[in-house]
Amino acid sequence: MTFTTISIKVSAADKEMLERIAKSQDRRFNDLVQILFSEGLEYFYCEEVVHVKKKESEFTEQEIGQKLVNDDLIAAGYYQLSQAERKATDYKHVDSHFHNGTCCNDKDTLIAPIVERIKAFAVSD
């Protein structure tokens, strides 16, 4: 995985205070900032629905295979089948978007993985 840097502007006094907070908790300053950023992402998007369209390269091999199965079923008249007939097929929905799971109680495939990676980077040596 390739890493990059994100920077924000804060006053010198605020940076100094954040450094003191990190020290008081026996943390490195950069680790504290990473944890604060990841926690902020989690809280900021906890009630707001976010969808981001997947790039073709972001579909798993399993999803690509399922899309092919679905395309064949659709070409063969899947949408003309009754609900019972549809259930008997191998059709399975493939998400074309990443989302944060706040609608329909779906798994968060967008924000939670980012938060986990940022936190993991902050706590690793």
108: phi then psi, degrees, rounded to nearest 5: -75, 110
- The amino acid occupying position 9 is K
Reported as a single tens digit per residue, the pLDDT across 9-51 is 999 999 999 999 999 999 999 999 999 999 999 899 888 889 9
d(CA 1, CA 120): 13
d(CA 120, CA 113): 10
Reported as a single tens digit per residue, the pLDDT across 81-94 is 999 999 999 999 99
- CA distances 30 to 22, 33, 34, 38, 72, Å, are 9, 5, 6, 12, 51
d(CA 95, CA 88): 20
Reported as a single tens digit per residue, the pLDDT across 46-56 is 888 899 999 99
Q: What is the 8-class DSSP label of residue 58?
A: G
Strand ranges, E, within 1-125? 51-53, 97-99
